[in-house]
Structure 1
């Protein structure tokens, strides 16, 4: 029997049978009005195994399972033959002798050449049909309802289909997408970068995940967004690329949260760094420079620090804001290599600002003054008074802020942060960070101010209590030196004295109150006055020490002190020596022999409960006695014995002049920055010998 060819009506009926059949191998069979098979295509042969020669002319029901109920198959065909389209599932019999479940669709088609009716039967394996139909439903549901933006593009990266979520993200309808490329419809995003990622997925066949799209779309033209895109190549049955599937998720909120968290971590790290690096000394200028150095480049590109002129000059705070602000520049960073730094006022310069200047406003209002967009409009009010704003603008400064230095409710100055890099204006978090750094530095600056005031007070107090004019008795020549601690260390309680007795003897004393600052200097003054009074009573050295210890115990806050007392008879060279925890004296004989006098060390005054002892020594006439405090011989880098040896070596050649000897000892033994006060007393016994 000759196989009947398909015509256009047959093809149209095939299309009407189901829009998704193209994704499934479907057999097409045609029968006459009597049920005899008149058409058997290759798909039918692949499905059931029979060749056209074996089935043409046979009744279609003959292909059903021989042991199954054939009534369903007959009723389906009869329904189609009478003019109704029908569908259902039957069990056919494969040529290999096995059952095969089929889904069938049957519909009548008028026979254009013979008249009558032809029944078209479309058949597909039931399991495959269910699988395809299920996946199609899932895909259609996912595409239409997913909150993720989804698009299908061809190999030229032109849109074929977009889902509603992507329409909403882009602010464009599907019709505005179809047939066009991303670079054509969204010029305000990094479309070229995205298309390069898409092309890579097409060419290499490997998915591209988390490719970032940034910029603005018609959906929200006033704000930048960030999207995460992924691209997967679509292939035909032979593995050839036929297009691309793209998904897009708006991650702006997550990205912002991530950026804020990262900024928070950086800010915390910077605050921790500031804790370690700001305030390493009690020096105002150094503390201000540490603030500037810490803030560059993490927070700003250039930083200056200015303090009130009254503070820099050591005067009282509170002045300098009436009618304007007078400041002194004490720090800036970077010191070199920046054109902006070169334009700004140099270190040490006094700056005067009128009442309406940003500097004065920031100080007066005690809150940051921020210029988020530094431009021609913002500099216009100051253009007639200074060329600096225009110069800064020309050098690329686009944002700056002035943050007051506040400590204990007192305004000390301010720090100015300039930004030139293309990182946007200062954010609220960065303004708060600048405030934290400024607060840390302000406390340290105020500590330096208070320390400097106390240091100066203690130094004045101590110098006023040291003997201004020493007049030794005949037969004794003396020289003395007092060297206060460096500016970064507190003044101590070192002192010395020479007291002439009526019988021609002299009392040489030297002491060191343990502690620093005004309190130590005050106790030192009290002890030195007590020593002078007791010495004139001609008490023995040990009795004098007991009285001094009693005086220390009378203090509201008892303190400790070391003390060395030598009663010298210049006529005989006889010395009575008592030591209370003080470094031993050194004797230098006229023939150059140097020795540390072996005197019991004793315990410092104020410890109590330990008796003091007196040692008698007779020195050759013309000998030297060297008394000193521990600042002369103690060093963090050297052992005390090594330092004492260094001292005795220097005394082996004392030279003819006692003042020159004092200077030589200080020059060789004391570093440029002394950690402690130093008192030095040198006496020559019986100068006439």
Structure 2
């Protein structure tokens, strides 16, 4: 039986320890007797120097030194170790392949007290690898200790093993509170479960997880939410088996807040830009209110109502006082259906009365948005007492409300109300600002519509008042006439017609169109109409009459142009003199049903000046129709003017009809929808 040797046991233990990885460095183990004979050569020694154990056992350790290098350092190191001192140093060894290899060694004697012999243990490693490992370790130690990035090492059970100072500061807990515990145990107010799921994924797959967001509150700042960007990397042993996770955390709360604010700013600008294009383009009060409501849902609110002052909706001046409450008419609502919120709100067209203390009235009086951040809470109860169905709103999920007044040009016009039901928190300051900007733009459009309708109505009244109220043609002439103002979305122009009794039983048939719109055009039309009546009594020729009208236009502060058609007709003989000044040609319908446009020189509009007008003489059979009209009757978007004139002549193919029926037929067939321009129409039957 072999005698038990404790030295061999020690060597075996050392070999087992050194045979693994010390950090990331493979370390070879060599053992020698007191005279330097190699008695132990492990596998890592073979991998380092290339010599197998059977080649080296029994040889002297000095044989390993490279012959071309200074061998004295190696001998002195071994001798010092053999004398009982531990030493370390760097020598140049001889690799089996014949090349020198710089080796870092650590040597120390091991005594066998029972036998009085000594053994020297020599640990050896590649010097370049050792220096690299020491450098990496120094870098890691510096990074771990001084990095502003939070770093943690966790085991496979996701328990903290070590954290650096930066992570201690982020979490508001010392390292001792981390070690041995999981994230969910120490930080319950962050999304710990989600983070641990990500770390388990890293342990299972080996693929890093980058920029996973941790959100919540820690003891370092318990009253505010923070956001961290977390990355996880798996740590492996030499066999590539997972032994833990390294986590790194960066606090990105400020960057996240800046990003959210920037994104909100972009959405706000996009919404305001869209509002400038979509809201108010029609100059229609009801449509503008509905456009505002449609635009805000769902990007700002889940439901919106738009109410204007009842006086404004009736076409009256909105007034300035709100004493005794306010009457509002609902003109906008979104969504119109399919929403529990809008289903319980008052319908479109309903007039709502609110007392002075109601939030609606307060918002109008203050001319500032009124925010009820949390509807139904005790603090908001007084404010919601008079809100529209406050209890019902809470029952269908409304939790926050903004009432933004519609104010334009110092006038209060109404209020827009924004309701939120989504679980995204109450309206905030940015939402109030956006609601105020949207309502400001809408209010300006609503006020523009109000002012336009007022001017449009004034122009229509002026226009109608200046048209002849009672036309009494001379004997032998029968007339019918129509005037159709432009639709509400188009301004009233300066169209007019008249029939004058001239000397010798003749009749003057005239029609004109001042080029322009609104009150100014209507006023110039009235002036020209009065001038024609005065000049006709002087029995002037048509050409002289037109030149006098040009002088009338020349006296205006703002130069204007007008087209004009003047026909002097003798019903007894059927002789007519036709003079045009840039006006569409009249139509002549003969008794046999033949219809054509009179081919006369078109002339130029009045106001151009210094252009001669050329009259045309024609003979009209008894019973013929002369049809005078303005361009609003024959011009239509997307239609060829020649096609429209052909349709006009076709509609006149039955001249025996009553004149009123002729007028109505022309209007009905040529202008089936709202007129884009004013229309004046004069139909005269000559003789017969």
Q: TM-score under structure 1 normalisation?
A: 0.92
How far off is 1:206 after superposition? 2.4
Q: Determine the structure 1 residue equivalent to 2:164.
A: 163
Structure 1 residues 78 and 636 mapped into 2: Cα distance closer, same or farther (>3 Å)?
Answer: same
Contact 2:19 2:27 in 1 (8 A): no
Measured in 1, the distance between the counterparts of 2:72 and 2:674 equals: 115
Contact 1:148 1:247 in 2 (8 A): yes
Moved more, 9-18 or 475-484: 9-18
Q: Which stretch of structure 1 is more off in the superposition, 541-550 or 376-385? A: 376-385
Once the two structures are superposed, residues 40-90 of structure 1 have per-residue CA deviations (whole angstroms, 9 ceiling, x without a partner) of 444445444556666666664454345544443343344445554322122
Please give the alpha-carbon distance, in whole angstroms, between the structure 1 residues aligned to 2:325 and 2:117. 109
In the TM superposition, what is the alpha-carbon distance from 1:177 to its structure 2 partner?
2.9
- Hey, what's the Cα distance between the residues in 1 that align with 2:136 and 2:348? 75
Cross-structure match for 2:221: 220
**Per the alignment, do residues 8 and 251 of structure 1 end up closer, same or farther by CA in structure 2, a change over 3 Å counting?**
farther
- 1:535/1:544 contact within 8 Å kept: yes
Write out aligned runs for 1:246-645 (5 A).
246-381=247-382, 385=386, 388-645=389-646
Q: Secondary structure at the match of 1:448?
A: helix
| 86-95 or 595-604, which deviates more | 86-95
Shift of 1:244: 2.6
Deviation at 1:486, TM superposition (A): 0.7
Equivalent-residue separation in structure 2 for 1:358 and 1:82 (angstroms): 98
CA distance in 1 between counterparts of 2:599 and 2:57 reads 136
**CA separation of 1:387 and 1:445: change in aligned 2, threshold 3 A:** closer
Deviations 1:290-335 (A, max 9, x none): 1222222222221221222222222223334224333222111111
Q: C-alpha distance in 2, partners of 1:265/1:156?
A: 44
Aligned residue for 1:230?
A: 231
Q: Is the 8 A contact 1:2 1:38 kept in 2?
A: no
State the alpha-carbon separation in 2 of the partners of residues 8 and 222 from structure 1.
61
SS at match of 1:355: coil
How far apart, in 1, do the equivalents of 2:551 and 2:287 lie?
43
CA 1:45–1:553: 2 relative to 1, 3 Å = closer
**C-alpha displacement of 1:287:** 1.5
Distance 1:79 1:675, change over 3 A: same
Q: How far is the alpha carbon of 1:286 from its aligned partner?
A: 1.2
TM-aligned CA deviation for residue 550 of structure 1:
0.7
Q: Is the contact made by 1:309 and 1:320 (CA closer than 8 Å) also made in structure 2?
A: no
Q: Secondary structure at the match of 1:431?
A: helix
Alpha-carbon distance between aligned partners in 1 of 2:276 and 2:610, rounded to the nearest angstrom = 45
CA distance in 1 between counterparts of 2:204 and 2:418 reads 49
- Indicate the SS of the match to 2:530: helix
Greater shift, 497-506 or 70-79, is seen at 70-79
Deviations 1:159-187 (A, max 9, x none): 33332222322333333333333333333
Aligned-partner Cα distance in 2 for 1:69–1:484: 116
| Other-structure match for 1:133 | 134
Distance in 2 of aligned mates of 1:369 and 1:18? 77
Q: CA deviation at 1:490?
A: 0.7
Gaps of 5+ in 1: none
8 Å Cα contact 1:279/1:444 also seen in 2: yes
Q: Distance in 2 between matches of 1:225 and 1:664?
A: 75
| Alpha-carbon separation, structure 1, partners of 2:53 and 2:580 | 131
Q: Distance in 2 between matches of 1:57 and 1:569?
A: 150
Aligned to 1:92: 93
Aligned counterparts of 1:41 and 1:514: Cα–Cα separation in 2: 110
Whole-angstrom CA distance in 1 between matches of 2:50 and 2:14: 24
- Measure, in 2, the Cα distance between the counterparts of 1:258 and 1:11: 62
On the 8 A contact 1:72/1:90 being kept in 2, the answer is yes
Give how far 1:26 is off. 2.1
1: CA distance, partners of 2:158 / 2:224 = 26
Q: TM-score, normalised by structure 2?
A: 0.92
Distance 1:313 1:359 in 2: 20
Q: Would you say the 8 A contact 2:302–2:422 is kept in 1?
A: yes
Q: Which moved more, 1:118-127 or 1:630-639?
A: 118-127
Q: 1:63/1:483 Cα in 2 relative to 1: closer, same or farther (>3 Å)?
A: closer
CA RMSD of aligned residues (A): 2.9
Give the Cα separation in 1 of the matches to 2:637 and 2:154: 76
**Deviation above 6 Å: which 4+ runs of structure 1?**
7-20
1:242 deviates by: 2.9
Kindly state the Cα deviation for residue 632 of structure 1 after the two structures are TM-superposed. Answer: 0.9
1:572–1:178 Cα change, 3 Å: same
Give the secondary-structure state (helix, strand or coil) at the position aligned to 2:512: strand
